[in-house]
Copies of this chain bind each other. A is one copy, B any other.
Amino acid sequence: MRRIEATHSRPRKGHRASLEEVDRDIRSFRESSGARRLVLLNTASTETYQKLGDVHETLKGFEQGLDRDDDRITPSMLYAHAALRQQVPVVNCTPSHAVDIPALLEMAEEMRVPVAGRDLKTGQTLLKTILAPGLKARALGLAGWYSTNILGNRDGEVLDDPECLRTKEESKLAALRGILEPELYPELYGDFVHRVRIDYYPPRKDNKEAWDNVDIFGWLGYPMQIKINFLCRDSILAAPLALDLLLLSDLAQRSGLRGAQDWLSLYFKSPTVKNGRPIHDLMAQRHAWEDGVRRIAGWRNNGRNGNGRNGKASRPR
């Protein structure tokens, strides 16, 4: 973070000292609030892009990095580490890596704590992951997707910095690629241009506005265009997701689940998953979510007929 001045910040100390401090904060909050179960929700501003390296690979390497104050360990990783140590589930609502590095996912498995993330899917990417599967289902090719965002709050101020924007751009492109599978359909999706802009624009205040131009092509290569203008409210779209995630990650922990919770991908731009490729298609994520809820509830998963063509949950037996 570079463009804004933080008003609530800790003096910079060594990693181990910082960890102790966060640890104390969590304990004191547990005491003062009287809460028996906690969840750590990371909703801080996006951190500057941090390329992943060896220090993030294994828990052992990460611990050594803590000892030598390795500066590739960011504040959001410290918070995640402190929470996991106390078996507090971690939900990462931001594009920062935080818990989404192999080292901390390993720790989450070991400590038997469920974690979920990365980057709440609220505005433009939500629409992308709704629209792209539809284009693919009709075999409509994609020549280009240009997206611009204007927002007037602190989030916009941070993302106006090209370094902070980079994580966001990469995750949006990954979502499109994950859905369209250019490797399987090179003629339709092998060569599309994807550009994303995020601009700080104070008149928009806490609202957010996205304008997308999608260049598609159909039969015989004929070009067509879809333009989408989404006048949304960031906090209004994000708040219910945060609340769901709070409740569901606590539920996951009580159900004995641990590590990355793939079934919570529905809420995120860059889903943190156990193995292999994340799912981005919103409807496929919705199905995975329904399966997850059913599994936890001990309901019998009775196949697609069960979760219904209408999206109705099947009844427990």
Partner of A213, one of B150, B215, B222: B150
Are B134 and A283 closer than 8 Å at their CB atoms? yes
Partner of A282, one of B134, B195, B226: B134
Write out, one digit per residue, whether chain A residues 211-240 have a CB within 8 A of any chain B CB (1) or not (0).
101010011101011111111110011011
**CB of A11 within 8 Å of the partner chain:** no
Contacts of A4 in B (CB 8 A): none
Are B146 and A201 closer than 8 Å at their CB atoms? yes
In whole angstroms, how far apart are the Cα atoms of A184 and B143 in the complex? Answer: 39
Are B283 and A139 closer than 8 Å at their CB atoms? no
Are B226 and A233 closer than 8 Å at their CB atoms? no
Partner of A203, one of B130, B143, B237, B284: B143
**CB of A281 within 8 Å of the partner chain:** yes
In whole angstroms, how far apart are the Cα atoms of A215 and B127 in the complex? Answer: 15
Q: Is the interface of A mostly helix, strand, loop or mixed?
A: mixed
In whole angstroms, how far apart are the Cα atoms of A126 and B153 in the complex? Answer: 31
In whole angstroms, how far apart are the Cα atoms of A222 and B236 in the complex? Answer: 7
Are B310 and A288 closer than 8 Å at their CB atoms? no
**CB of A148 within 8 Å of the partner chain:** yes
A202-B144, A309-B279, A309-B288 known; A218 and B197 CB under 8 Å?
no
| A positions within 8 Å CB-CB of B | 126-127, 129-131, 133-134, 136-139, 143-144, 146, 148, 150, 181, 184, 192-193, 195, 197, 199, 201-204, 209, 211, 213, 215, 218-220, 222, 224-233, 236-237, 239-240, 266, 279, 281-288, 303-304, 309-312
